[in-house]
């Protein structure tokens, strides 16, 4: 018997020759119909191949599992590892009505925010805020799905302070060209979640080599981003779906921005006042707010 219980099929193969006829039938069924077996009870599997529920349970324990539930949980993990993203979404939300999918997705996001709140290091968070306030220049990088997070952070940081650079190029060499002047007075924020980006990792390495203050926003302490960052903010992002959940990372970024405003109120007030003056003087939002329908004398709205 092999020790890695998670590789269910390897465990079955390692024990196959020692199995009884009934157990081999179960093993063959699971190997051939694993995508269906993940949803079936021990009784249903037994019924499908003509053996008793007890035989299926004994099959699981013979393989070294505590019982059928543990065996099935490991089978689910094994199947997920083989599936495409779309198939994984089907596995996660099988038998769900369309109306229930939004309920499950939102509950999953709530769980990830709660998990992020529990795991977030308050000292790292406070240090990150101070670093963003005190840095001469702030560089922000995130690619692929993380690019909108980087753009969001850079957009609002640019409203709160000057010298913010959001690295948006898709060319690897241009990434480093935009960072060519980074030094010990600057800060670099790398945002990266699985699948991890080599380009973000190398950019963080360059920032670290230049003695810049490096902040990572990533999923956990095992992330390779932590190799070059002394300020690590962890946010839950995993979801069995074609689209990974980035709600918790966005919440962490929101918190950074709000904490920045509270900790540097004079600078922020001055910047916001200047922005409001520009918006007013140049009527930036005037046309966006106009309702082009006219009201008649009775107070009812009519189309112009």
What is the number of domains present in the chain? 2
Q: What is the average pLDDT value for the chain, to the nearest integer?
A: 82
Is 272 in the same domain as 150? yes
User: Given 82, 100, 123, which residue is the final one in a domain?
Assistant: 82
Question: Is 186 found in the same domain as 37?
Answer: no
> 39 lies in a domain?
yes
Residue 1 included in any domain: no
Condensed to tens digits (0 to 9), the pLDDT of residues 152-204 reads: 999 999 988 989 999 987 677 888 999 999 999 999 999 998 878 888 999 99
For residue 2, being part of any structural domain is answered with no
Whole-angstrom distance, CA of residue 68 vs CA of residue 52: 13
pLDDT in tens, 211-259: 999 999 998 888 889 999 999 999 988 654 555 678 999 999 999 999 9
In a domain, 183, yes or no: yes
Same domain, 36 and 184: no
Return the pLDDT at 79. Answer: 74
**Assigned domain for 117 exists:** yes
**Do residue 202 and residue 258 come from a single domain?**
yes
Q: Would you place residue 38 in the very low, low, confident or very high pLDDT band (cuts 50, 70, 90)?
A: confident
- What CATH number does the domain containing 141 carry? 3.40.50.10490
Instruction: Answer yes or no: do 225 and 181 share one domain.
Output: yes
23 and 123: one domain? no
Whether residue 215 lies inside any domain: the answer is yes
Does pLDDT of 281 surpass 70?
Answer: no
Same domain as 223, residue 116 = yes
Residues 118 and 161 grouped into a single domain: yes
The stretch 31-39 carries a mean pLDDT of 80
Question: The domain spanning residue 53 has which CATH number?
Answer: 1.10.10.10
- Does residue 127 sit in the same domain as residue 263? yes
Residue 271's pLDDT is what? 72
Q: Is the pLDDT of residue 27 over 80?
A: yes
Q: What distances in angstroms separate CA 11 from CA 21, 64, 230, one per listed residue?
A: 17, 9, 41
Same domain, 118 and 57: no
pLDDT for 302 equals 46
Is 141 domain-assigned?
yes
pLDDT at 31: 83
In this structure, the answer to whether residues 127 and 256 fall within a common structural domain is yes
What integer pLDDT is reported at residue 15 of this predicted model? 87
Q: How many CB atoms lie within 10 A of CB 167?
A: 23
CA dist., res. 38 & res. 29, Å (int): 12
pLDDT at res. 304: 39
**18 with 159, same domain?**
no
Domain range for 15: 8-82
What is the predicted pLDDT for the residue at 251? 94
Residue predicted with more confidence, 257 or 8: 257
Q: Are strands 231-234 and 294-295 parallel, antiparallel or unpaired?
A: unpaired
Work out the average pLDDT over 36-61: 89
> 82, 101, 127: which is the final residue of a domain?
82
Q: Does residue 235 lie within any of the structural domains?
A: yes
pLDDT digits (tens, 9 = 90+) for 54-112: 999 999 999 989 899 999 888 887 776 665 444 455 555 555 566 677 777 788 788 88
Helices (H), 93-137: 98-119, 122-134
Tokens of 32: 């051939």
Task: Give the torsion sign (CA, 275, 276, 282, 283).
Answer: positive
- Is it the case that residue 206 has pLDDT exceeding 80? yes
User: What's the confidence (pLDDT) of residue 5?
Assistant: 65
């Amino acid at each position: 018997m092999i020790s890695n219980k998670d590789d269910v099929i390897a465990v079955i193969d390692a024990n196959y020759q020692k199995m009884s006829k009934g157990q081999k039938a179960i093993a063959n069924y699971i190997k051939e119909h694993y995508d269906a077996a993940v949803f079936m009870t021990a009784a249903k599997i037994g019924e499908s191949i003509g053996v008793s529920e007890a035989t299926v349970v004994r099959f699981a324990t013979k393989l070294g599992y505590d019982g059928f539930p543990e065996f099935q949980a490991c089978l689910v993990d094994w199947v997920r590892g083989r599936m495409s993203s779309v198939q994984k979404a089907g596995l996660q939300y099988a038998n769900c009505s369309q109306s229930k999918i939004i309920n499950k997705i939102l509950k999953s996001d709530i769980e990830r925010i709660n998990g992020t709140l529990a795991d977030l290091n308050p000292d790292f968070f406070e240090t990150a805020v101070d670093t963003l306030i005190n840095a001469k220049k702030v560089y922000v990088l995130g690619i692929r799905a993380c690019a909108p997070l980087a753009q969001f952070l850079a957009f609002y940081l640019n409203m709160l302070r000057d010298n913010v650079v959001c690295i948006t190029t898709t060319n690897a060499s241009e990434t480093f060209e935009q960072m060519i002047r980074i030094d010990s007075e600057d800060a670099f924020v790398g945002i990266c979640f699985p699948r991890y980006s080599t380009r973000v990792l190398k950019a963080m390495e360059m920032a670290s080599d230049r003695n810049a203050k490096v902040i990572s926003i990533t999923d956990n302490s095992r992330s390779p981003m932590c190799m070059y960052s002394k300020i690590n903010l962890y946010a839950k992002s995993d979801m069995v779906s074609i689209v990974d959940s980035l709600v918790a990372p966005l919440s962490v970024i929101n918190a950074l921005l709000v904490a920045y405003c509270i900790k540097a109120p004079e600078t922020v007030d001055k910047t916001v006042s200047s922005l409001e003056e520009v918006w007013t003087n140049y009527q930036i939002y005037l046309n966006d707010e106009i309702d082009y329908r006219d009201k008649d004398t009775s107070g009812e709205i009519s189309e112009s």
